[in-house]
Amino acid sequence: MTTMTDPPRESFRLSMLINDTRYRSMTFQAIALFSLIVAIAYLANNLLTNLAAQGLNIAYDFLGDPAGYDINQRLIEYDSQSSNARAAVVGILNTLLVAFLACFMATVFGVIAGVLRLSKNWLVSKLMAFYVEIFRNIPVLIWIIIIFTIMTAVMPAPRAFRGDEPEATMLFGAFAFTNRGVYIPAPVWGPGSMVVVLTFLASIAGVIGYRRYATNLLYATGKLLPMGWPSLAIFFVPTILVYLIMGRPIGLEYPELGGFNFRGGIQIGAPLIALWFALSIYTGAFIAENVRAGIQSVSKGQTEAASALGLRPNRVMNLVVLPQALRVIIPPLISQYLNITKNSSLAIAVGYADITATLGGITLNQTGRAIECVLLLMLFYLTISLSISGIMNVYNKSVALKER
Amino acid sequence: MSDTQQHSISFVRTETLPEREPPYAASGPVKWMRENLFATIPNGILTIVSLYVIYLILAATLPWILNGVWNTASLSECRDVLDGTVGACFSVLTERWNQLIFGFQYPEELYWRPGLAFLLLFVAAAPVLFFDLPRKLLIFTALYPFIAFYLIWGGTILTPIVALVGFVAAGFFWKNFVARSFALGFFGSIVVAFIVWWLGGFLISDTANENAAMQAVPSRDLGGFMLNMMLGVTCVSLSVPLGIALALGRQSSMPLIKWICVIFIEFIRGVPLITLLFVASVMLSYFFPPESQVDLFLRVVIMITMFSSAYIAEVIRGGLAALPKGQYEAADSLGLDYPQAMRLIILPQALKISIPGIVNIAVGLFKDTTLVSVISMFDILGMIRGPILASTEWNGVYWELLGFAALLFFIVCYGISQYSQWLERRLATDHR
Amino acid sequence: MTKSVLLGALTVAGLAAGAAAAGTLDDVKTRGTLNCGVTTGLVGFAAPDANGEWNGFDVSVCRAVAAAVLGDPNAVEFVPTTGKTRFTALASGEIDMLARNTTWTFSRDVDLKFTFVGVNYYDGQGFMVPKALGVSSAKDLDGATVCIQTGTTTELNLADFFRANNISYEPVPIETNAEGQQQYLAGACDTYTTDASGLAATRATFENPGDHVLLPEIISKEPLGPLVRHGDDEWADVVRWTLNALITAEELGVTSANVSEMATSSGNPEVKRLLGTEGTLGEMLGLDADWAQRAIATQGNYGEIFAKNIGEETPIALARGLNAQWTNGGLIYSPPFR
């Protein structure tokens, strides 16, 4: 109806780069990019000058050279003639092993302490509060060293088991607790043991199948099948039967004193135990707090409503409280797992051969390739962290409240 | 009728009965114990188990502590005094007290300087920690870093003064020019500060440190628990502003700046502190200009600050995200530009939400300062694991030393976390 | 305690960068102190005493260099280094010289680009076991748990030795000597292995040194000596000839007690050249004429340093053995001062 005229198109002026919000962000980013490039160039230039001045270079050839040292705990074949790269892989596996064990144990400690801290029993809740405070407020490195010192200074040396009246004896004749580690019986896989293992796996599948069937039946017809004892039966009976039928194919090899150490059985080294326990107890204190916060975050009304519906207490816990609490508990739990993995790098203090001790320790010392080793080390931890946080993001998305 | 009335009246009491004691089992300690310790059978079992655990702990430690020996010169002498009985050799603490607290190289006649700096730390921290104190005290807090630097490192007083003048000049410039343009004020003040420092550099002659009133102490000579405290305080206070900048950068709408911040934060959070300390000890010196000497303390401060600033940035980002969108929109609708909105509306609220998280990070960081013992710095743990345990006199004393270190850390960290809880209650005003 | 550290240090760094000097010798002279890398603590070689004063065999070498260059044996800043940090510290210029019982090997010399200026102690890797174990030879150690300090050549030697003899062992790597002691004494390892001198020094700190024996096998050659960066030959010369001066002094009978007297009264021309009363050797090094006199006067000659720190009179009780003068059947031999 009226002639709309566009406002006169402003021609671009240089001052708009600073004053016009449309262009200002461009200016800032350009400045940031420029300073970033300058900074990187400056650092790289320094690095190259320094390296050139000393006639050094950056090269990764050393990874293929024989490492030349031995590692006391290895999950894969390794000897002193293996390459540095293989030593690094041994270290990676050891890191993952101790991280996995510690995550499991820390969860157990944390859940127990977290639940008990909410207990109505005054003494128990105070004791748990004491545990949480004492472990949260003292550095993990001190705990690792303390527990390692307990391992080495308090436990008996293997030579204490020697003689007619030894100072120390093995537990049940099968477990030896020494200051070099714990020796436990190792399974010996005889012929036919595969069948037993397969049966065992099948019975696990059976338990899951049965429980799923029972749940479906409950939802479909309202008929409640017993869950507890049939699960146990499916879990144990077939395996034991097959084990007996096959003529006990799986035996145990007991550790015995021989030479300087115990021989036979499985040795769990003292450094592994010290690191494992220290990390679990320390992180368990943090997890306990997460668990407590999670349970407290479920409002009392939920419990009361569930009881009003006639649910029994254990069902209230399983069906109402836990699913809601887990939503709060799991994200911090996963970041605690991440912390365990990162803190496992303190293995260096107790001589556990993790990646920091092999690649970032002995290999670095022997080859003198400090920059390369530290870079690879950071790359490894970065990969682990990013994958764990990736998993966490997926989980968070899947449990996020679906609001409609 | 009157009969009945009379009859019934005889059942009406005209005065109240004297109060009876409640039944024995429903009052006092017994009731408390029944309710809190032996409510159910499993509960009772738990109580008994806990009592047994407490007994075990006390039985193992109490005689050891109470029978402790405090004044011998070596472990063997202490064992002679104990003569086979159970007891601690706390004399290692009294004999090596100075080494545990100050390291073994800090000049003995100068111990009062870090001691004074430590006391002043409380004065400086008080107005930050407790809001009720007069705001004027903040001036001292602002001056504290320079005073503490001068006290601990000594040397010429010109160094801290030049640094201070640089900051004052920058602040002056900022105040006068920020109204005209934020960018001008911000970048201008940085330039001004550097000009002042550069000019100040000429004032300080090379020999200034040698004939200064306060004897200069190289930072390599710092050690013991003092080193832990210094690393903790320095890195936390440096990383808070850096963390705020990173958090804002990560929220920024400018993709380039956002990605720089994201990569930095995720990278730092993805690697353990110990690898960053390796970087400080074996790699970082390659990145400084040739011929320049940056001492290990400074390199470690740089790496720990980067480490904690990434974590603090994430906490503050949480605080920013928790603010309702209305706050941002309200700021926009008032016509505030970005710096004003941040400074006046967003950050005060976001920081308030983040304080407990920041305190947690600070406690964690303080505990992590023990890791420097791995890269041959003699903090309290480094002193214990190195010179003290290796010495002929005290070869074999573990529990007393480790227990002492643990106790020191516990006191500080527990204190901070109690403060944090107090603060949380204090700040629990409804902010929505 | 906060920002000013950064700023102060930046200022200092800027000044240092401005005064970029040509060589380490000039750097040390301008700075007025010598930065010397030592171990974090090995009694007899380098360890701080209860007052924080560094003492030991390696420390004396540092002090001798400081006395020669700066005229003051106490103008030394001792930088404790671990096996991991020592080479970076030297390569990056954090320390001017490293005197940390470091073995002279091909790869360290050639690949890592360091110059070993000489050998101040001929060592070899040995084993220490408790007497009660009843082991008399390292070859009996099949299946034993062995404590080793990481970051040293000992790990590689150990692997080679057990491999060559086809026996097995279980290594327990440890970071510091103090932890090695702790592990070994607690029985967490059957034997502790490192350089024989280090073993003797460690054993000396035990409550009952007599309960432990060193096995006769020496499984490696470990020539230990001070080292400097490649490419700064003036500085390497200063350190090399300071060490040689100490050795020559013993050979010629110059001691800390008689050094000033010998300088004037001795008729031996080599003594005179060494002590600067004849010739211009000091000037050639870029030092003054008295450099060697000062080093010897403050620290004593090689023999005195040895006797004072690790000799048979000390708890460490090392015999001279290979480290006797060549005239006494040892390997300690200095090129002539001429």
ipTM entry = 0.86
In 3-state terms, what secondary structure has residue A402? coil
Quick one: pLDDT at residue C3? 37
State the angle between helix axes of C57-70 and C24-31 in degrees (0 to 180), rounded to the nearest 10. Answer: 80
Per-residue pLDDT of B146-203, as tens digits, reads 888 888 888 778 888 888 888 888 888 887 777 666 667 777 888 888 888 888 877 7
* CB neighbour burial string for A145-159, b if at least 16 within 10 angstroms, e if fewer: bbbbbbbbbebbbbb
Which residues of chain C have a CB within 8 Å of the CB of A357? 150, 173
Nearest to C193 by CA among C211, C209, C217: C217
Q: For residues C247 and C332, is the Cβ–Cβ distance under 8 A?
A: yes
Query: What is the rounded distance in angstroms from the CA atom of residue B87 to the CA atom of residue B65?
Result: 6
In 3-state terms, what secondary structure has residue C194? strand
Distance from CA of C148 to the nearest CA of A (A): 10
- Interface of chain C toward chain A, CB-CB under 8 angstroms: 83-84, 87-88, 91-92, 107-108, 111-113, 132-133, 141-145, 150-152, 155-156, 158-160, 162-163, 169-175, 182-183, 186-190, 229-231
Amino acid (1-letter code) at residue C308? K
In terms of Cβ atoms closer than 10 Å to its own Cβ (0-12, 13-18, 19+), residue A4 is exposed
**Which B residues 68-87 touch C at CB under 8 Å?**
75-76
Quick one: pLDDT at residue A382? 92
Nearest to B387 by CA among C85, A141, C43: C43
Report the residue of A58, A128, A137 to disrupt the B interface, i.e. the one with the largest count of B CBs within 10 Å: A137
Residue C252: CB atoms within 10 Å = 18
Per-residue pLDDT of C47-68, as tens digits, reads 887 777 888 999 999 999 999 9
> What residues of chain A score a pLDDT lower than 50?
none
Quick one: pLDDT at residue C20? 43
**Average pLDDT of span C16-23:** 49
Chains B, C: CB pairs < 8 Å: 162
Query: Residue C41 is encoded by which pair of tokens?
Result: 């603590």
Nearest to A379 by CA among A359, A357, A403: A359
Q: For residues A294 and C179, is the Cβ–Cβ distance under 8 A?
A: no
Quick one: pLDDT at residue A401? 65
Dihedral angle sign, alpha carbons of residues C291, C88, B268, B252? positive
Contact C173 A370 (CB under 8 A): no
Quick one: pLDDT at residue B126? 83
Alpha helices (H) in chain C, listed in sequence order: 3-18, 24-31, 57-70, 86-91, 106-110, 154-164, 177-185, 196-204, 233-252, 259-265, 269-275, 281-285, 291-299, 302-309
Query: What is the rounded distance in angstroms from the CA atom of residue A174 to the CA atom of residue A184?
Result: 6
Quick one: pLDDT at residue C52? 75
Query: Residue A317 is encoded by which pair of tokens?
Result: 């816990």
B274 touches chain A (CB under 8 A): yes
Nearest to A74 by CA among A105, A95, A51: A95
Report the residue of A37, A42, A122 to disrupt the B interface, i.e. the one with the largest count of B CBs within 10 Å: A122
Query: Is the per-residue pLDDT at C8 higher than 80?
Result: no
Q: What is the 3-state secondary structure (H, E, C) of C123-166?
A: ECEEEEEEHHHCCCCHHHCCCEEEEEECCCCHHHHHHHHHHHCC
User: For the residues of C235-265, what is the DSSP string, one character each?
Assistant: HHHHHHHHHHHHHHHHHHT--TTTHHHHHHH
Tokens 């601690």 locate to B88
Contact A36 B271 (CB under 8 A): no
Query: What is the rounded distance in angstroms from the CA atom of residue C102 to the CA atom of residue C232?
Result: 19
Contact B149 C1 (CB under 8 A): yes
Per-residue pLDDT of B58-92, as tens digits, reads 998 888 888 888 888 888 888 888 887 888 888 88
Query: What is the rounded distance in angstroms from the CA atom of residue C248 to the CA atom of residue A61?
Result: 43
Query: What is the rounded distance in angstroms from the CA atom of residue A242 to the CA atom of residue A368?
Result: 56
Q: How far apart are the first and last CA of chain C?
A: 54
Residue A376: how many CA atoms within 13 Å on its side-chain side?
25
Distance of CA A65 to the CA centre of its chain: 31
Per-residue pLDDT of C301-317, as tens digits, reads 999 999 998 888 888 88
Query: Residue C268 is encoded by which pair of tokens?
Result: 């031996």
Neighbors of chain C with 3 or more C-beta pairs under 8 Å: A, B
Query: Is the per-residue pLDDT at B410 higher than 90?
Result: yes
Quick one: pLDDT at residue C11? 45
Instruction: Give the nearest chain A residue to C168 (CA atoms).
Output: A70
**Average pLDDT of span C268-283:** 86
Distance from CA of A234 to the nearest CA of B (A): 30
Nearest to B46 by CA among A294, A117, A289, A109: A117
